[in-house]
Amino acid sequence: MRRRHFLLASAGAASAATLVACSSDDGGSGEAPAAGAALVVDNAFDLKTADPARSFELTGALLNRQTYETALTFQGSDVSTPVPQIASFTISDDARVVTLKIEGEHKFADGSLVDADDIVFSYQRLQGIKGNPSFLLDGVEVRKVDAATVELVSADANPALPSILPNPSLGILNSELVKANGGTTDDSDGAETFLNGQSAGSAAYQIDTLDVTSQVTLKLNPAFVGTKPTYSRIVLENVPPATQKINVQSGTAQIATDLNAEEASGLAGGRTAVISQASAYMIFGWFNTDPRFGGPVSDPLFVQAVRHALDYAQLGELAGAGSVQPGGVVPSQFVGTLAQDPSNTYDVAAAKDLLGRSSYDGQEIQFLFSNDVAVSGVQLQILAQAIQSQLKAVGITIALAPKPSATSLDSFRSGEFQAGLAYWGPDFPDPSNYLAFTPGQNVGLRAGWTPQSAGAGEVVTLVDAAKAASGPEARGAAYEALQRQMNVSGPFVPIVQPAQNVVTAAGLEGVELNPIWTMDLAAVR
């Protein structure tokens, strides 16, 4: 989980999601503002900068989505298929070359047209600054072909690239304007201050005022060539969740983005509406496969017993309405997701049988988790206690080992802890991001899983097949096969994708949650 604190938004996405929007009788006064008025959005800020090439936070993605267009985008909440925004794209058969061709006219606020130079500058600047999102274009050479065409050439096959390009960090800037204000394509770039004062994009809105700790106001981009937004002004306020609820109930805000399932449940109906969808976060259990550290949990039979001992439905209830059980490590919104898998089903008899055949003999298992972390409102501490209780029912004794996240992550990363509960948010919406969970890779090693581990050989073969697969269907099938095998011999037990909840004033339309940028405010009406 590289740069976990900057990971993609916990916003929900589409396919397996539930959408609940109803009217309430709670007597609240929240209602949609008149067209042309300001739309007030309450968000718990993690904003550091409005410079897209430096921003990789949730609030930053929400903000930059409104002020910068990207070469490619996703339609609504569907992140499985990138579609054109500024440009259309083709990808070579070997998945090494992505060619972007600018489609139609796109204008910056000063009236100038977006061209290939702007795309090349924006991408090279992102790479050269070496900021948090720079890794998105690691190993990619950006070339201008002509005034409307750009080639992105990767050293190795990079089928995920089209799914990376919609990230708001890859927003297209007005290169002339940014260069005139200190912008460069190396680490001497000095345009951040300028970009925190005004935006230089071609999207529907531009920054009016910005205070990264309290409030951002957006005004219309007068040169925007797309459909004119309903609201001429956006006010993005930094508000803690408890106050968000009060604000949206009272009508002070029209959208609240950070309420958990319990808080949001009371707001479904009447003058407020609730949209609940599965987030892209995946909470999973892990068990160390290295016998030196894992002891009895390194036995694959033990992990298989755990897979059947967990009551996923009950754990899903704890995570709130809209949460889903992922079949594998790839979330439900992405290509290659596994809808369900017989290996991960609640079956107490099977769990006891597997446990009886394993080397487990009643030992106490140390179970690590961060006790100060809530993933989309779901406290890992609560989930860990429920898991402890469920495993006890089949005869597995778990000793909870809570630690603050500052130290628990170090323990997990050391690869020397016995077992635990963790979560993962994707860096980009593509299944290749989840190869980190395979033997010898980043997350795999945290559970002591190497290519030499028992049963890892078959997984390694399937990893190679997934990397070589080309096209959505072939890639999807390859990643599904990989996850099925991981569910048999792997140390990770996918437990739940918690829900993300957004509460809006009743009558607001066009609010579609997206796991990368939360929502497109220009589409709200």
Partner 1 sequence: MTLVSTTTRPRRRVPEALRSPLTVVGVVVAAGWLLVVVLGPLLQPADPLAQSPDRLAPLSAAHWFGTDSLGRDVLSRVIAGARISIPLSLLLVALSASVGSLLGAVAGLLGGVVDEVVMRLADLVLAFPTIILAMVVAAALGPSLTNAVIAMLVVTWPQYARVTRSLVLGARDREFVVAGRLLGIGWFTSLRRDVVPNVAGPVFALTTLDFGNAILLLSGLSFLGLGTVPPTPEWGLMVSDGVQNFTAWWVAAFPGLAICSIVLAFNFIGDALRDALDPRMQKAVGSRAL
Q: Among 194-202, 231-239, 397-405, 431-439, which window interacts with partner 1 (CB under 8 A)?
A: 397-405
Q: Looking at beta carbons only, is 198 or 379 nearer to partner 1?
A: 379
**CB of 370 vs partner 1, minimal distance in Å:** 9
Residue-by-residue DSSP string for 346-364: --HHHHHHHHHHSS--SPE
Please tell me the number of Cα atoms within 13 Å of 260 on its side-chain side: 14
The CA angle 402-406-411, to the nearest 5 degrees, is 60
The verdict on 225 binding partner 1 (CB under 8 A) reads: no
The verdict on 382 binding partner 1 (CB under 8 A) reads: yes
Q: What Å distances lie between residue 13 and 84, 256, 349, 517, CA to CA?
A: 19, 17, 35, 11
**CB of 32 vs partner 1, minimal distance in Å:** 24
State the Cα–Cα distance between residues 482 and 340, nearest whole angstrom. 13
Q: Looking at beta carbons only, is 147 or 382 nearer to partner 1?
A: 382
Q: Looking at beta carbons only, is 402 or 455 nearer to partner 1?
A: 402
The verdict on 404 binding partner 1 (CB under 8 A) reads: yes
The verdict on 381 binding partner 1 (CB under 8 A) reads: yes
Q: Among 45-53, 65-73, 216-224, 370-378, which window interacts with partner 1 (CB under 8 A)?
A: 370-378
Question: Bridge partners of 89?
Answer: 100
**CB of 270 vs partner 1, minimal distance in Å:** 16
**Burial bucket for residue 470 (CB in 10 Å: 0-12, 13-18, 19+):** middle
The verdict on 181 binding partner 1 (CB under 8 A) reads: no
**CB of 408 vs partner 1, minimal distance in Å:** 10
The verdict on 396 binding partner 1 (CB under 8 A) reads: no
Q: Which of 54, 65, 125, 403 binds partner 1 (CB under 8 A)?
A: 403
**CB of 382 vs partner 1, minimal distance in Å:** 5
The verdict on 364 binding partner 1 (CB under 8 A) reads: no
Q: Which of 92, 379, 441, 470 binds partner 1 (CB under 8 A)?
A: 379
CB 281 within 8 A of CB 425: yes
**What are the tokens at 225?**
């060539």
Q: Looking at beta carbons only, is 10 or 49 nearer to partner 1?
A: 10
CB 382 within 8 A of CB 376: no
**CB of 198 vs partner 1, minimal distance in Å:** 38
State the Cα–Cα distance between residues 368 and 410, nearest whole angstrom. 11
Which residues within the stretch 242-281 sit at the binding site for partner 1 (CB under 8 A)?
242, 260, 262-263, 266
Q: Looking at beta carbons only, is 314 or 442 nearer to partner 1?
A: 314
State the Cα–Cα distance between residues 520 and 62, nearest whole angstrom. 8
CB 283 within 8 A of CB 62: no
| Closest to 226 in 3D by CA, of 61, 34, 80, 73 | 73
CB 297 within 8 A of CB 303: yes
Please tell me the number of Cα atoms within 13 Å of 471 on its side-chain side: 3
State the Cα–Cα distance between residues 39 and 232, nearest whole angstrom. 8
Q: Per-residue string for binding with partner 1, 292-331, x by CB under 8 A?
A: ----------------------x--xx-------------
Question: Bridge partners of 237?
Answer: 42, 215
Q: Which of 401, 419, 513, 524 binds partner 1 (CB under 8 A)?
A: 401
Q: Which residues bind partner 1 (CB under 8 A)?
A: 242, 260, 262-263, 266, 314, 317-318, 371-372, 374, 377, 379, 381-382, 384-386, 388-389, 400-404, 407
